[in-house]
Amino acid sequence: MEFKDYYKILAVAEDADNKVIKTAYRKLARKYHPDVSEHNEAEEKFKEVTEAYEVLKNPEKRAQYDEYRKFGGRSSGRQDGSSQYTEGASGYGDFSEFFSSIFGGADPRGNEQREGYGFTSQQSFNQRGQDIETDMPIFLEDTLADASKTISYRLPHRDAEGHVSEINRTLNVKIPAGVVNGERIRLKGQGGQGVGGALNGDLYLRIRMVPHPLFDVEAHNLIITVPLAPWEAALGATVEVPTLLGKINLTIPANSQTGQRLRVKGKGLVGKQGQGDLYALLKVVMPSSTNDDIEKQWQQLASSAAFNPRKEWSK
């Protein structure tokens, strides 16, 4: 079991008063709150600072902790009966094993049930099961029609004696056509089991669109970058362009420019207000190799075209 230096965690001195401790806690809580922070370990950090504050703000707990800290954990720590709690709730929050070893296994907050990073109480008699939220990666192609997907997720499971462990659950789910990134789909009753006859929690699938190697998404429209040879841009061409549903022939008008967008109606994503479009974004690229003959032709072009692309600068 790892010793936790609560003073270090809150970055306060050992003799810091309550006001200093509260300010330090508030700053760190705002910084690491999992709903706010993008930090990789936000959840862990937030739990850690909350635990530290829980102890240091309370004179009795602080005194007990100071004593424990002073004697390097050799006295006054409770080593009994508390492991069941932390093991049982592993992965679903709760304070650390270290906290339990000193202060016992009681719910540190004494009340609410939290989800995700929260603090789960084991003591309720009639409590709705926990809601679970999990990411559901979806390919763009899968959003064009209703899709059947298999999802695996972890679920807290409470046995007859009230011990909580995690189990893996696999479900087949139908993802409706036209889902968008960030959308949440509710699967009623597929979350944590209820206690004392209460309802099960729900499962929420949070749709995460997997980036596509060819297409970018803007609302319900798709964008594909179409590389063109300089002479294709100059003379116009018919180019084979991939869409989500097979290839199409796209007509490139003569004198096309890099950055120009050509709209292909109805070849975008399925939207709630109708089908989106595909935009071909043109990009003129130079050939990477050349030879004397080609160079000569470019030189001829240079002298006959009399084109100054930087005309704007000389104004």
Partner 1 sequence: MENQYFSFRELCNVTALPSQTIIEIVDQGIIDPEGSDPQTWQFNTQMVSVTKKACRLHDDLEIDWSGIALAISLLEELEQIRHENQQLRAQLNRFITG
Q: Does 247 bind partner 1 (CB under 8 A)?
A: no
Q: Does 133 bind partner 1 (CB under 8 A)?
A: yes
Q: Does 186 bind partner 1 (CB under 8 A)?
A: yes
Q: Does 57 bind partner 1 (CB under 8 A)?
A: no
The span from the CA of 242 to the CA of 226, in Å, is 10
The span from the CA of 48 to the CA of 54, in Å, is 10
Q: Of the two residues 88 and 201, which places its CB atom closer to partner 1 in the complex?
A: 201
Q: State the residue for tokens 């990789």.
A: 40
Q: How far is the CB of 33 from partner 1 (least distance, A)?
A: 6
Q: Of the two residues 154 and 186, which places its CB atom closer to partner 1 in the complex?
A: 186
Q: Does 43 bind partner 1 (CB under 8 A)?
A: no
Q: Find all residues with CB under 8 Å of 31, minimum gap 6, and list them.
A: 37, 39
In degrees and rounded to multiples of 5, residue 82 shows phi and psi of -100, -15
Q: Which of 14, 35, 60, 292 binds partner 1 (CB under 8 A)?
A: 35
Other CB atoms within a 10 A radius of the CB of residue 185 amount to 15
Structure tokens at 116: 């995700």
The span from the CA of 301 to the CA of 154, in Å, is 66
CA Rg value for the chain = 31
Q: Of the two residues 76 and 181, which places its CB atom closer to partner 1 in the complex?
A: 181
Q: Does 188 bind partner 1 (CB under 8 A)?
A: yes
Q: How far is the CB of 283 from partner 1 (least distance, A)?
A: 6
Q: How far is the CB of 312 from partner 1 (least distance, A)?
A: 21
3-state secondary structure of 243: strand
Q: Does 149 bind partner 1 (CB under 8 A)?
A: no
Q: Are 244 and 227 in contact (CB under 8 A)?
A: no
Q: Does 270 bind partner 1 (CB under 8 A)?
A: no
Q: Which of 211, 236, 242, 253 binds partner 1 (CB under 8 A)?
A: 211
Q: Find all residues with CB under 8 Å of 299, minimum gap 6, and list them.
A: none
The residue ranges that bind partner 1 (CB under 8 A) are 26, 29-30, 33, 35-36, 46, 50, 112-115, 118, 128, 131, 133, 174, 176, 181-188, 199, 201-202, 204, 211, 216-218, 223, 225, 227, 281, 283, 285
